[in-house]
Each structure stands twice: as C-alpha cells, then as structure tokens.
Structure 1
Amino acid sequence: MSVLLETTVGDIVIDLLTDHAPKLCENFLKLCKVKYYNFSPIHSVQKNFSFQTGDPLGPLSKESDGGCSIWGLLSGDPAKRTFTAPFHPKLKHLERGTVSMATVPLASDPDTRVAASQFIITLGEETDYLDGKAAIFGKVVEGFDALEKINEAMVDDKQYPFVDIRIKHTVILDDPYPDPPGLREPSSSPPPSDEQLRTVRIADEQELHENDDVDEEELEKRRREREARAQALTLELMGDLPFAEVKPPENVLFVCKLNPVTQDEDLELIFGRFGKILSCEVIRDQKTGDSLQYAFIEYEDKASCELAYSKMQDVLIDDRRIHVDFSQSVSKLSDVWRQDTNNKRRARARGGWGGVQELEKRRQYREEDERSSGKNYNMVYSKEEMKGRHDDRGSNGRRSEGRHDQRNDDRHDRRNDDRSQKRPSDRDKGRQYRDRSRSPRRGNRDDGHRSRDGYRHDRRDRDGYRRRDR
C-alpha cells in the first residue's frame, strides 16, 4: 500500500505498514484521498533528525487548529478531531525515511497519546528519541533526494524554512480500506484557500499560479498525467517495469479480432508487403494452444509499421474484419531487461546451494575436508562433547577443561577390557539374578549413603551440592 507525495522539492513515495498500524494507515490514506494535505507546509525541519507536516495551515497561521483526523473531518464532531494513537512494539525509528504520526499526551490521561493529521519523516539514522512519542505507520521507499533537499533547507530559529516547501498533491497508489460514510473524493486537486495563501513566505510565483487561466480540460489532462506517472512508478517498484519512463516500441503493431483459424504464416504473408517483418506471433492459450484472436507484428523500421497501420485497418482476413493499432505493450522489453539482469547476477554468482544457483554455502565452523564422517553426522559438537560440557564440572561450578575426553576414554577402555576378560559363569549369572530380585540393603536407603571416606551424607547435603554445582 503506497502513497505518492508531490512536493515542491520532488516526489516522495511512502509504503504503508498496514499490518502493524492499520488505523494510522487508514487515517493517512483517507486524508490523502480527500486532498486534505494539499498545500500543507513542511516545518520543524531539524537537520539530520526529522521534519513535520500534515497541517493544511501550519504553525504560522493563527487560524490553525493543528490538523484533524479523517473521522472528525467528515463528521464535524470536535471530539473526533483526534484519536488514540496505537504504538506497535516492533516498530522503531531506526532508519532514515521512517514515517510516523505526531502525537500529544491526552489532557485527562498523560499516559495516552492522541494523533490527528500531522506526521513526521526522519532525516537521520539515530532518531530513537521519537520512539513512544510518534506512532510509526510507514517508510519512504522513493524520493530520498527530496528528503536531502529538505534536510539542507535554510530555516529560521523556529526551524521553519525561509523558502516555502509544501505538499502540492497526493496520489494514492493502493487503498485497501473502504471509504467511511460521507467521504467524497474531489474530481480534481482543489486550489489553495485564502488562509493558506496568507501563510506563504517566499515562494515560486510560477508554481503558485501554474493553474491560473487553465481550462478544466487541461487541468484534467495534467491530473491524468500525474496519476499515470504514479502508477508507472508503482509498477517499477513491483518489478513489472524496468523503469517508470519506459515506452512501447514504435515498430510493433497490435492486430485483434482475428479469425481463430488464422495462423502466424498467414499474417506474415499479408503484412509482409509493407516491409521486412522481424517477428509475427499469434497469441495462444498456454494450455489448449487455441488462438486468442490477437497478434503482435514487429517491423524492422518505424515507417513500415506506420504504412501497415494506415492500409490494414478494417481489412477482411479469413472472413473477419481485423482491427489494427500501435502496440502499447512493454512486456517484451521487460522480459529482455529481466533476463539480462538475471544473467548478470548469475555471472557474478560463485556457486549454488539449496536449489538457488547464486547462493554460496557459508562454511562458518569447519572446512568441509576437516569434518569427520563418523556417527556424529558432522555436528559441530558431538554427543560426548555436549555431555561432558554439563557433567565434567569442578566444585566451583566451572568446567574442568582438558580432562573430560581423556578420562571418559580411559573409563570406556577399562570397562571393555573387564568385560572381555572376566566372563561370568552360569553360577555367577544365577547369583546376579537373585541379587537383583532382593530388596535394597538398609545401608543403601534413599535418604543417605556412605562415601569412600566413611562419612554419611543425607539427601539434603546432596541437594545442596547440586544447587552449588549449578
């Protein structure tokens, strides 16, 4: 979900975090939709920190109320002018271009902060001071050159720019929220009000009066051009276009209303008399292979394409009158650009891992040749090592380094030697089985035992040792 802000210093594209701050994003989107932010001044510019905007009049106007939320604006209820600002615990002011709603403490409850329409955009990296004071709802993804111009603007002692920097227009690139009752989107961008014009300090006269003496048709044309640029920028961000200024080729014709029986060779034979054809393709369904009844014809030069366009309109082919137009598709250009980009990335790749060709395996702990292929399955620590890490500890709770492995190996070897040399006889086996069935001796009760030095220790002492070893 994105919004384009057209400012006097350049365009700024903001991606909204609708999953983390839905209410803040809805308020911001709907205010943009009703053109509430048009001609809003940028103020409180603090170099390498942040700037603030969103009030249509700004702090220089005595009529300013500080801004209003979309719900208060539509209802006219002063109680809905502000709303409780939600703060997501995972959203922090950690990077440049973080967008957040400006908030103030509620008079009746200082722990609750409320927001209206004003928002803040950070101009530096270390801006964690704003955490808990401004509610984050988006981030800037395009237009950092405009942020740099705002950061370098000359300001007075109240951080207000001497030369006006304002939001000229807002374009919604995607809006997932339903409109609240009473919302009406204006057909065109409204002109600045008299109160807004009185707040102008130093402005470009040409920009102030750029819409003077312009008819409605021209204004509508300009609005459509701005929206087209914004949509193209969105497609560029999504990766569907190589760049926003891409244009369709001028030597390609689009032919539609074809008969399903018409083949590529038929069109190439008919259109080939106007010039050399580089490619002629009837578009077909990928599953069935049936013709979709339209095609693209690419000529070697632009003149041949224009001649075919003028001569082949409404011509009868296979009992169908075709329609011819210049192609508006850039899919082929996008495919070429995408394939070239992928080839360059693969050329820089060093190997492959996990099914991804350009992903290099990282050998963080041991080299591949040094790892043993035994029963430890190439773990960094084997089971014996992990067991000794917890069992082999001194009286002070620290691990006795360097002695565990050798001692365990010695015990293991002695135990194997004893088992191999002393095989119990049948008589001994029977005695062992009888001993197992007997009840434990009194001296081996659960509440205590005798150690090698002859002293008796009860359960409380053992628990104390365990706690101390931990």
Structure 2
Amino acid sequence: MARIKPKQLLIQSKTKKSPSRISYSSIITWNLIVVLVVLSLYATYRHWHHRPAFEPEMDLHRAENVERSADSTKLSTPNYAVMDTAKGSITIEIYKDASAGVVDKFVKLCKSDYFKGMPFRHVIKNFVIQGGDFDFNGAAQDWILKAKASGENALSPKHEAFMIGTTKSPNNKGFDIFITTAPIPDLNDKIVVFGRVIKGEDIVQEIEEIDTDDHYQPKTPIGIINITLRQEL
C-alpha cells in the first residue's frame, strides 16, 4: 500500500469542513427572546388572575362617585322658593326628588329673573291658577269636565290643593307655573308637580277670587313680582 506523505495529509486535513460554531451574539439574542416571552406570559397571567377581584371594586367606586354627585346636586338645589305677588308672598317647598330636568330649569330661571313681572294668564276658581305664556283656553274646559267626572276617584298626595307644577309637554320651550286650588284627580296627566305651597295659602285663595272673563283671564292684571330662592326659611 502506497504511503501518504505528511504534506498530503496536511492538505487533506485543511480541506475537511470544521463544525460550525454558534456566536455569542446569537446566544444572547435568543436568551433575550425567551426572557421577554416568559415576562409577557407572566404579565398576562397576573392581569387575568386579578381582574375578577379588581373590576367589582372599581364598579363600586364608580357607583359611590355617582351617588356622591347626585347627593351634592340635591344639596346645592334650594329647598324653598318665595313667590312675591301683588296680594302677598307665597312660600313654596321645592321637591328635590321630582323631575330633575324640571327642578333644574325652574331654579335656573329663578336665578335669571325669568318670572319677574310674569302675569297670571288664567285663574279658574276651585281649580288652578296659571302663569306663563301658553294658551290654556281649550285645556281649561277639558280639565274641569274631567275633574268633575272623576271626582270620586281616590286622590294621591300629588292631587291635593296648593301643588306647584308646570306643563307636561316636551314641545314647550318656555316654562309656565300652575298652582292648584283644589284636589285634581287627573293632575298627573297634565302637569309635572315639583313643589307645594307651605305658606301663603290664603294669598293663593285671594288670587283665586279675582274677577275673570269668559276665558278665565283676570279682568284686573295680577302676576308674579319675582321669585327668590332660599335654602332656609
């Protein structure tokens, strides 16, 4: 067998491929990827693990904040309104639990002197006194007929005399005031009650006694001088 010379062995050894080596940068990169994946999975686990206990607590805080906001609104709403008329003063207790939109609008209009000099447009004995700029001629007849027809029905507190309300109509851009002078069984179908007279019932009755024409309009003008708001009497 022919002998291979040492020089040829050296040449052959150089021609053989040496095993490839993984660089340090590749190792570091893969380790970083593994660490990031593990951290992401851990963060996801913590989020979903704590979510059921965390969300009800947040909902509770939200509910408490809403309740506090509603309570603060009620506290900021005046308790009383004093209506000055040519016959004297009428003290009104404001129902804070009534329609929030109606109460807020009434308070806002009082502060802007909207009712200053507003006349009583219609005075219907044993029924209502109405102040404002709305046509009440046809409705007055209907109200009287319905009130007499259903006079035997049971009355709720809102159907009593000396209640304060405004027209129940989404189309009304203004604001009118009704003061009932007798129990009205179908009152809820006509007006939104937002208060009651607690002082000055005799003044309401004096206004009720003034002379009116066939359309229930006072022959001698009488109206609201102004309405002022008060927290305490």
* TM-score, reference length from structure 1: 0.27
User: Deviation at 1:150?
Assistant: 1.3
Instruction: Tell me the amino acid that sits aligned with residue 11 of structure 1.
Output: S
1:188-239 CA-to-partner distances (Å, cap 9, x unmatched) read xxxxxxxxxxxxxxxxxxxxxxxxxxxxxxxxxxxxxxxxxxx6xx0xxxxx
User: Residue in 2 aligned with 1:132?
Assistant: 189
Match of 1:52 among 130, 137, 140: 130
User: Residue in 1 aligned with 2:110?
Assistant: 32
User: Deviation at 1:116?
Assistant: 3.3
Is residue 120 of structure 1 aligned with residue 178 of structure 2? yes
1:121-151 CA-to-partner distances (Å, cap 9, x unmatched) read 10012x1222221111111111111111111
User: Residue in 1 aligned with 2:162?
Assistant: 97
> Residue 102 of structure 1 contacts residue 115 of structure 1 at CA under 8 Å; is this kept in 2?
no
Kindly report the root-mean-square deviation, in angstroms, between the aligned alpha carbons of the 2 structures.
2.2
Instruction: Tell me the amino acid that sits aligned with residue 36 of structure 1.
Output: Y
> Residue 92 of structure 1 contacts residue 136 of structure 1 at CA under 8 Å; is this kept in 2?
no
Match of 1:3 among 81, 84, 87: 81
Rg larger in structure? 2
User: Residue in 2 aligned with 1:169?
Assistant: 226
Distance (whole Å) between structure 1 residues aligned to residue 173 and residue 196 of structure 2: 18
Instruction: Tell me the amino acid that sits aligned with residue 188 of structure 2.
Output: D
Distance (whole Å) between structure 1 residues aligned to residue 158 and residue 124 of structure 2: 15
Relative to total residues, which structure has the larger helix share, 1 or 2? 2
Is residue 14 of structure 1 aligned with residue 92 of structure 2? yes
Instruction: Tell me the amino acid that sits aligned with residue 169 of structure 1.
Output: N
User: Residue in 1 aligned with 2:29?
Assistant: none
Distance (whole Å) between structure 1 residues aligned to residue 185 and residue 170 of structure 2: 18
User: Deviation at 1:156?
Assistant: 0.4
Query: Could you say what secondary structure the match of 1:116 adopts?
Result: coil
Distance (whole Å) between structure 1 residues aligned to residue 188 and residue 168 of structure 2: 11
User: Residue in 2 aligned with 1:149?
Assistant: 206
User: Deviation at 1:21?
Assistant: 2.2
Distance (whole Å) between structure 2 residues aligned to residue 168 and residue 141 of structure 1: 19
Distance (whole Å) between structure 2 residues aligned to residue 105 and residue 3 of structure 1: 24
Structure-to-structure mapping, 1:81-92, within 5 angstroms: none
Distance (whole Å) between structure 2 residues aligned to residue 93 and residue 153 of structure 1: 25
Instruction: Tell me the amino acid that sits aligned with residue 133 of structure 1.
Output: K
Distance 1:34 1:105, change over 3 A: closer
Instruction: Tell me the amino acid that sits aligned with residue 94 of structure 1.
Output: H
User: Deviation at 1:169?
Assistant: 1.6
User: Deviation at 1:94?
Assistant: 2.0
User: Deviation at 1:22?
Assistant: 2.0
Distance (whole Å) between structure 2 residues aligned to residue 129 and residue 8 of structure 1: 30
Distance (whole Å) between structure 1 residues aligned to residue 170 and residue 109 of structure 2: 22
Distance (whole Å) between structure 2 residues aligned to residue 51 and residue 22 of structure 1: 23
> Residue 159 of structure 2 contacts residue 186 of structure 2 at CA under 8 Å; is this kept in 1?
no
Distance 1:31 1:41, change over 3 A: same
> Residue 98 of structure 1 contacts residue 138 of structure 1 at CA under 8 Å; is this kept in 2?
yes
Distance (whole Å) between structure 2 residues aligned to residue 52 and residue 165 of structure 1: 11
Name the % identity. 27
Query: Could you say what secondary structure the match of 2:90 adopts?
Result: strand
1:240-273 CA-to-partner distances (Å, cap 9, x unmatched) read xxxxxxxxxxxxxxxxxxxxxxxxxxxxxxxxxx
Structure 1 residue ranges without an equivalent (≥5) = 60-90, 107-113, 175-230, 235-470
* TM-score, reference length from structure 2: 0.54
Query: Could you say what secondary structure the match of 2:221 adopts?
Result: coil
- Number of aligned pairs? 136
Distance 1:105 1:36, change over 3 A: closer
Structure-to-structure mapping, 1:316-335, within 5 angstroms: none
Instruction: Tell me the amino acid that sits aligned with residue 89 of structure 2.
Output: D
Instruction: Tell me the amino acid that sits aligned with residue 98 of structure 1.
Output: M
Distance (whole Å) between structure 1 residues aligned to residue 170 and residue 99 of structure 2: 19
User: Residue in 1 aligned with 2:68?
Assistant: none
Distance 1:20 1:169, change over 3 A: closer
Structure-to-structure mapping, 1:135-284, within 5 angstroms: 135-174=192-231, 234=233
